[in-house]
A and B are shown apart, each in its own frame.
Chain A
């Protein structure tokens, strides 16, 4: 079975500091996509970053970057220079390219940025 595990239900970080959210996944697939989505209190799911498994280079988007370790099946999200607006629920998600046509989500990490 394909699963995504986020072992940190809640985290907090001081404004302007750096925080890393963990995500591990389990799959026998070789080709897949990994995502981090952010869900603020408004509940709108917003894409933060996307990684294609065949790419060794870690994806970055401004203050957000990932540490993708394919062999370890690990996909952590690093947020640098944390801002109050980063306060949200963060979901790690996985989908294989083999055409299951569904995303598998982790249970989320609630991040609170403190002023």
Chain B
């Protein structure tokens, strides 16, 4: 069974640009959540989706947005990139909430 797949794995963007990250969950998993990992802040919750509905959102500015498609694949978008957005962005999926979440390998974003 394929794991959680995140693309792209590595990317470099310039301040002010926008970026879209993609996540394909494990087959059959309908819950997808996103986390930002930085050395200083650890793992911070961004948002969670289930059946195309956002059920919770973390304390991030409106520049961070996401969506989920009918096949459970999810994307997150960051607009007007800032240097502080440089981080590892992790996607995780689960069958339903309360089940264990399984992580992808992450997307490394560097903003220069």
Binding site for B on A (CB under 8 A): 33, 35, 37, 42-47, 50, 91, 95, 97, 99-108
Contacts and interface: CB of A to CB of B under 8 A. Distances in A.
A27 to B, nearest CB: 15
Contacts of A105: 35, 42-43
Nearest to A97: B98
B43 A101 contact: no
Most A CB atoms within 10 A — which of B48, B55, B103? B103
B60 to A, nearest CB: 12
Nearest to B88: A43
Interface of B is mostly: strand
B50 A103 contact: no
Interface string B15-38: 000000000000000010101000
A104 B48 CA distance: 13
Contact of B103 (A45, A99, A102, A106): A45
A101 B56 contact: yes
A43 B45 CA distance: 17
A7 to B, nearest CB: 14
B7 to A, nearest CB: 15
A45 B31 CA distance: 17
Interface of A is mostly: loop
Contact of A102 (B42, B48, B88, B90): B48
13 contacts: A43-B88, A43-B105, A45-B90, A50-B100, A91-B42, A95-B97, A101-B50, A102-B56, A103-B35, A104-B45, A105-B35, A105-B42, A107-B42
A45 B102 CA distance: 8
CB-CB nearest 4 A-B residue pairs:
A45-B103, A105-B43, A101-B48, A102-B45
Nearest to A50: B100
Contacts of B8: none
A101 B97 contact: yes
Contact of A106 (B42, B58, B97, B105): B42
A101 B33 contact: yes
Contact of A100 (B42, B43, B56, B106): B56
A108 B44 CA distance: 12
